[in-house]
Structures are given as C-alpha cells and as structure tokens.
Structure 1
Amino acid sequence: MSRGSIIGPVLFKVGEDVMIDASLRAVQIPHDIHLVDHIKLKKPVSFVLVVEKLSIFNMLVNLNFHVTHNCIIITGCGKPDMATRGAVFKLSYCLPVKVYILADLDLDGLQIYFTYKLGSKVRAFENLCVASRDLIWLGARPEDSLLLQEPNEFTRVQQKSLTDLRDSLPNISDRDRLNTVLDWNFTLNLHDILDYENIVEYLTNRMAEFEDP
C-alpha cells in the first residue's frame, strides 16, 4: 500500500475483487493507483481537501471534518508518492468539485503543492496522469504571519531555492504567488497558526473565497 491516507465517502475498486472503502475510517491508498479502475462515491461530496501533514489530517479526522463538511480528505504524509498523486488526480478528474490543498508556507510545502499540481521533473513522463492542474492553495498564506508575534523569515538559501522554483514555473499566476511569498519573506508552519479550536473556521473562511457566485 501507499504511505498516503484517505477518508471520506469514496470506494476504490482495484482489479476484479478488491474494494477499498474509505468511508468508515482512514485507509491507505492503493500502492498501484493505475490498477484502480473505478471510483465510486457513496454520496455526492462538496470538495476534496489535500493536506500536507499526517498530523493535520488526523486533527481533521478527529474533528469529523469529513462528515460535517461532506468531503474527502487525503494526505501524502509529506512529500507525496506516485500513488497519492495519482489518487488526487483521479479524484480531481472524475469529480465535479474543487480540490484544495493545505500545506506549510515553506520550501517543502510549496514544492509539495507544485508536485501535486504540475508533477515532478524526475518522472516527467508520468505527469500527464498525476498532475492536478486545478488544485487550489488554501494556506498557509503570507498574511497568516500577522497571527504570530515573531514569524520566522526565509534564509538566503531558502530564498534562492524559492526564486529558482519560481523561475521554473510555466504559469504566470503561480510565479506571481511565489513573488508574493518572497515579498513577505515569512515562513509558516501550519501548527503555529492552526489547532483544534480554529482549523475548521480557518478552512471554512478560506474555501468561501472560492465559492461560485
């Protein structure tokens, strides 16, 4: 199985006989996502939420966020493997809902976001089958640094890496996003701004920005 996990009202059919049900508890994503020949929803969902960290995933599961907000939550437990990226792609391709991501505002978090969205250079030949190009970044965002008294700044090495990442991006809006990150120059860990008390409100407010008129 993959190291990625998923929870929500969704079934994965693998081969002829295996059905993986993520509706009752979090389950691991099938290791070879290409063998998943059918995705079935137990009921319509409102959105899909990708989270960078297993700890944030567990927090949302403990809060029953997937139930109260009728959604699918998925995590790659950090840098996603091919199976997790493929699962996010299949969900974004098959379901008529928005797919969001919640990740740290640091070099790793941004690289993870763009890996989900654009694929990777290492396995570029597979990007067409795993890149979720409509993925929406919810946070953390530079303005979240206002929630902290003394936010951390990027080091010069990190700034250089972010600049290189920005210059490699094909999309102007993505480059503009990284320009904003570089202008603010603050790095944020999700655990510095989110906890059991405020994470639901944070996500609800951010997703409201992308609701259709």
Structure 2
Amino acid sequence: MADWAAKEIRGFRIHERHLDRAAQLALVEDVRGIARAAPFLVPVTRRGTKMSVRMTSAGAFGWITDRRGYRYEPKHPSGVDWPPIPARVLDIWRDLVPEARMPESCLVNWYRPEARMGMHQDRDEADMTQPVVSVSLGDDALFRIGNEERGGQTESVWLHSGDVVVMGGTARRRHHGIDRIKPGTSDLLDAPGRINLTLRVVT
C-alpha cells in the first residue's frame, strides 16, 4: 500500500490509488467470501422504496434498512452471523487511522451502473469521534460532499478503483453521496459497476 497522492476536501481525506492492482484483486476475493456467507440484500427504505444499491456486511454488526428503519444488527436477516471483517480490510484501517478503535462493521455496497446513493449522513454510530473509512473498487464514482445541514453548496470528486477515503473530525457529520457510476472505467470486476467497503466503529 502506498499513497500516490492524498488530498483533503471539506475534511474528507482522499488517499488516491492507495491500493495497487494486486491489493484490489485480493479485496474482491474477500468480498466474494463475505457474499457467500451473507448474501447481498436489496435494501428497502422506511417508505418501502427499494434502493438501487445491493448491500451486505462483515463484522460484529451489519447495517441494514427496511420498513423498521435504518440500524445495525448482529445477524444477517436470514439469521446467520455476519462473517468476520477480512484481515486485509483491517490492515487498511490500521494503516490510515492507527489511533482509532478497531472497526466493528464493514458495510459492502454493490453499485451497478445505474445505482446511486442519495445525500446522507453516517450518524447511526454511538461514538461520532471515530472515523469512517471507505474503499472504492471497480468503476469510477462521482462522490458529492455537502454540509452538516441539508442543502447549500456542495463539491464533487471522482473516486477511482483503489482510492480510500477517511471521514473524520469535522467531516464526520457532513452529508455525502454517490451521484453516478461511470461504466467501463475499470476492468477489475467481472461486470460493470463498483464495490464500496465502508468501515465503522458502531458502539
């Protein structure tokens, strides 16, 4: 692992090309292992609307959403335990945020080319002083960064395969989202799209 460049936008620390090709391929295999143990879900909002991303998790807690709301759960909806967070994923956390507590959840989002993620805050965690670390694999994604309150001026940046974003400090409560995926910008995955791993301390 080696940063070719690192830049900061509104407190979001973007480590560009932090993961080389071999490391990315290894993480894809780890994701396949997670999905075999805890299959991807079609998340549903409180209103019953299906989200465009597919989700699964690893760790002591998985993040889910359904008509009961957004929350962390200790088990997959099928009743099985979430698989452990892969060692290679934990190494990224140790490398970039060594001062933080170890993550208890790794949310895995699968974005097909048409998938989006609306502007939102990561605010379901008990200790908001702990960072969130996000890993991009596959096609480029247009990442939009907003403000603590909804609305106002935003900034956007393209995230590429191998980029890792650290959201801590003042950025922790900012709204953010994925506006679109650019198919064909990576050949890492077997099909067009993007995988995003998001590491969080829950308790």
Same fold (TM over 0.5): no
TM-score (norm 1): 0.27
TM-score (norm 2): 0.28
Could you say which structure has the higher helix fraction? 1
Could you say which structure has the higher strand fraction? 2
Q: Which has the higher contact order (CA 8 A, sep 6+)?
A: 2
